[in-house]
Amino acid sequence: MKIQKALIIRRSQLPLSMEYAENCIESCEKFKIPYEVINAVEFLSCEEAFESVGTFKQKSYIPKKDGHCNCHASHIKCWKRIIELNKACIILEHDAVIKGDVLNIDIVDDTVTTFGLRVVNLDDYNPPAPARELVEIKSSMGTHAYGITPKTAQWLWEDVRDNGVADCVDNWLMKYTRSGLPLFMCEPPQAVSWARISTMDLSIDTSKEELKSGKHYSEVHNNPSGFTQGWLDGFNDIKNKTVI
Q: How confident is the model at residue 223 (pLDDT cuts 50, 70, 90)?
A: low
d(CA 65, CA 67) in angstroms, rounded, equals: 5
176: left (phi over 0), alpha (psi -120 to 50) or beta: left
- Of 83-87, 161-165, 168-172, 174-178, the range with the lowest mean pLDDT is 174-178
Residue 233 has pLDDT above 70, yes or no: yes
Q: How many domains does the chain have?
A: 1
Neighbours of 102 (CB within 10 A): 26
d(CA 163, CA 196) in angstroms, rounded, equals: 34
CATH number at residue 193: 3.90.550
d(CA 101, CA 30) in angstroms, rounded, equals: 10
Q: How confident is the model at residue 243 (pLDDT cuts 50, 70, 90)?
A: very low
pLDDT at 113: 97
Where in the sequence is the domain holding 47, given as residue range(s)? 5-240
Q: Are 10 and 18 in contact (CB under 8 A)?
A: yes
Name the pTM for this structure.
0.92
Between 16 and 177, the more confident residue is 16
**Which residues make Cβ contacts (< 8 Å) with residue 213, sequence separation at least 6?**
none
d(CA 82, CA 76) in angstroms, rounded, equals: 10
pLDDT at 176: 65
3-state DSSP assignment of residue 140: coil
Give the model confidence (pLDDT) of 184-205 as tens digits: 999 999 999 998 888 887 877 7
d(CA 244, CA 239) in angstroms, rounded, equals: 15
Give the model confidence (pLDDT) of 151-169 as tens digits: 999 999 999 999 999 999 9
Q: What angle do CA 23, 144, 141 make, to 5 degrees?
A: 140
Residue 216 has pLDDT above 80, yes or no: no
Give the model confidence (pLDDT) of 115-132 as tens digits: 999 888 899 999 999 999
Mean of the per-residue pLDDT values for the chain? Answer: 89
